[in-house]
Amino acid sequence: MSNIRVQGYNQISFWQEEGVGVIVLRTNSKGLIGVRGIEELLTALSIASVDQDVKSVAITGMNNIFCKGIEMLVSQEEKKEFLDACTSLATLVGSMKKPIFALLNGDAINEGYEIALLCDLIISKKGFSLGVDNGYFFKLGGSLTSQRFRKFKISKAVEEKNTDVVISENDTFLEDSLKIIHQEEGYPYPERRSSSLVNLKAVLDYERSTFLYSEIQNGRKDQEVATNGL
């Protein structure tokens, strides 16, 4: 899986396998993905949504990591670009007419877990961690989608607490996950998702303003520290 490349894409790979569009998040050595990775994921999902050969979509990771978050955002321009990409991604998922599955082959933390929460069914490898850090600000609708489980703070994968399915056999995780996806054919996941995300736009607007406000407050604190240190 880790050697598959798609021309023009650097932070994801994707292909079609027996009617399933498989999208792989290619995180860096720390398990983080960049803004471009979110944009590439958005593009791949857009392609899958109109490809008649793709009946459902599966998002997974590589090298025993799903996604541990986003790379550091430095400039205001980067932060805006990132938030725009998050809004577009969540909005697209909310409108897609095909089932979407998250195959958590490793840790799914912060933005990584939010991506998983947007999906209809979360299938996880046993022993890995899922959830968000204390003080984390949702950006992909997580304040709404996290309500489907009892736990969203970081903990090990447990069925019905922070994931839907846990697979114990790591060596055949992708194959076992694809079998589950095929078994779920015909279930009205898109309709259920559309119903559960009816207030998504308002939630995304709230999360965006909350995140930006926190960034302003943190900037003021940093400035005070620098001033007091003079």
Q: Determine what percent of the chain is predicted with pLDDT higher than 90.
A: 82
User: Tell me: the pLDDT tens digits for 151-176?
Assistant: 899 999 999 999 999 999 878 999 99
The CA dihedral of 132, 123, 13, 110, to the nearest 10 degrees, is 0
In this prediction, residue 230 carries a pLDDT of 53
Alpha-carbon distance 195 to 67, whole Å?
A: 27
Reported confidence tier of residue 52, pLDDT bands at 50, 70, 90: very high
Domains of the chain: 12-228 (3.90.226.10)
In this prediction, residue 12 carries a pLDDT of 96
Nearest to 207 by CA among 38, 86, 73, 71: 86
Are 68 and 107 a contacting pair, CB within 8 Å?
A: yes
Mean pLDDT, range 12-29, rounded to an integer: 95
Alpha-carbon distance 153 to 210, whole Å?
A: 19
Nearest to 107 by CA among 146, 154, 151, 68: 68
- Identify the helix (H) or strand (E) that includes residue 24: strand 20-25
Look at residue 194 and tell me whether its pLDDT is greater than 70: yes
Mean pLDDT, range 115-135, rounded to an integer: 97
User: Tell me: the pLDDT tens digits for 53-88?
Assistant: 999 999 999 989 999 999 998 888 999 999 999 999
